[in-house]
Structure 1
């Protein structure tokens, strides 16, 4: 019998990674406002559930800082500048290891570049990676869709924000259920994926 890969997130060992959600990309990324809205839901859920959050910024001197709508500065989220395509560096891994993280919820841009390389690096290091398809995007829908196909083949779990949020709760018995439920009472915005995957 073939072994089965568990695809659940476990709030006790999960971190949210926010990849390069910067000002300069605002007018170039497909469905950027919607991606920000969905990512904000995940940030708020992580805050309520006390999950670690880590962010990166690609060459912030030229591309600006993380969009303020996410509220990462107010939460004192560790944010690291980078010039490579992966979020995975000693600082990020140090935080993940110090928090005993095994499951990664990954959001951000671009799906076919920094999200892609981050996922591959994390998978190589043995992490379970959940790429949130309605919280990641690219400048091109073609690049975005084929990134998801490649990431699935590589072993990442492709998921939606609501699946992740409710999976972290595990059920209505969770003490924070009602607080988190308020974040998803309205459906997540359309991020252009219907009929594409």
Structure 2
């Protein structure tokens, strides 16, 4: 395995309906990563607040979306925006000496933003795949692409990654 990974963030049943706009490209990215000996990692968000109605552990809403191509058992759970807050994910990165990340998923203004920023801040190489990222507010995507670039991430389309 190369020291690269595709990280698919929070494509769960409770996520925005906008995931359907990117799911085919995300699956294409998963196939591309698999064909190029990259690890494919899935991140699931859980809301732990008693009053929450979304992303509740054990609920249908917290499951990965049925259209998602799941090709590995590398599925990690977090309860905060950054995937690096998940100790199992952080340990997996370290144990597998992963140094370079390709990011896909949701939400561009939340968990994708936080995970990408924090990975780059830790010195990893981060590529946000712009046409494999969505948001609750699609109008915010160009602003988020600029943010990622300013924080040290490459912003590429899936075609540019290949």
Give the TM-score normalised by the residue count of structure 2: 0.84
Give the TM-score normalised by the residue count of structure 1: 0.70
Match of 2:125 among 121, 124, 128: 128
Q: Would the aligned equivalents of 1:85 and 1:117 in 2 still touch at CA under 8 Å? A: yes
Q: CA deviation at 1:26?
A: 4.8
Match of 2:5 among 15, 20, 27: 15
CA distance in 1, matches of 2:5, 2:72: 15
Equivalent residues in 2 for 1:164-175 (5 A)? 164=161, 166=162
Q: CA deviation at 1:120?
A: 1.1
Q: Would the aligned equivalents of 1:57 and 1:82 in 2 still touch at CA under 8 Å? A: yes
Match of 1:43 among 30, 37, 62: 30
Relative to structure 2, which stretch is displaced further, 100-109 or 63-72?
Answer: 63-72
What is the number of equivalent residue pairs in this alignment?
A: 150
Q: Determine the structure 2 residue equivalent to 1:54.
A: 41
CA distance in 2, matches of 1:37, 1:163: 16
Equivalent residues in 2 for 1:154-165 (5 A)? 154-164=151-161
Give unpaired runs (5+ residues) of structure 2: 47-54
Larger Rg: 1
Per-residue displacement from partner, 1:88-131 (whole Å, max 9, x unpaired)? 13211221222221110000000011000001110111101000
CA distance in 1, matches of 2:13, 2:45: 11
Q: Would the aligned equivalents of 1:109 and 1:138 in 2 still touch at CA under 8 Å? A: yes
Q: Would the aligned equivalents of 1:52 and 1:99 in 2 still touch at CA under 8 Å? A: no
Residue aligned with 2:114, SS? helix
CA distance in 2, matches of 1:99, 1:120: 21
Q: CA deviation at 1:81?
A: 2.0
Indicate the RMSD between aligned Cα atoms, in angstroms: 1.7
